[in-house]
Amino acid sequence: MANLQGFDANTVEPADDLEPIPAGKYVAVVTDSEVKPTKSGTGSYLQLTFQIIEGEYANRLLWVRLNLDNPNGTAVEIARRELSSICRAVGVLTPNDSTDLHNLPCFIHVRVKRRSDTGEMQNEVKGYSRRDASAQPVAASQVASSTPDATGADAPPWKR
């Protein structure tokens, strides 16, 4: 239970009903990553939160789940291949931690599909590509060594 004393819905605009965004390529960054247990409890997955940072759908969020720890070897192989695509798209080929992938812009390839359980339409990220094809991939150690210093340059790279 949460205490809602002091909240007045008269002073806050209601949330819009978020329909799926159209299929296409969008510039996005990973803003959050978390390892969560699978529903069955026999493994875990890495959940990445992507935020679109440009265009009409800026600030919209999409989630990707990568089954990196699963008794199903095929699921793990698919997840590892998708993680490789993400790493290549953001230019970090050897991340030490999922946070090494944060705040680095790339294109996410989004499609719209029908949910099998409810029949509702939803978005799904089906691919990744580099935002700047001329940029060279970097190792995670290079990303860590280029973190902002005390000069106040703590804005994410895509906001600089």
Per domain, the residue ranges of the chain are 23-132
CATH architecture of the domain formed by 23-132: Beta Barrel (2.40)
Half-sphere exposure of 71 (CA within 13 A, CB side): 5
Q: Which residues pair with 122 in a beta bridge?
A: 113
Contacts of 158 (CB under 8 A, 6+ apart): 29, 53, 103, 104, 105
Taking 70 as the threshold, does the pLDDT of residue 54 lie above it?
yes
Q: How far is CA 48 from the centre of its chain?
A: 4
The pLDDT value recorded for residue 141 is 46
CB 53 within 8 A of CB 28: yes
In one-letter notation, the amino acid at residue 70 is N
Q: What is the pTM of this model?
A: 0.76
Mean pLDDT computed over every residue of the chain: 86
Please write the tens of the pLDDT for every residue from 96-132: 999 999 999 999 999 999 999 999 999 999 999 999 8
User: What tokens were used for 151?
Assistant: 């000069």
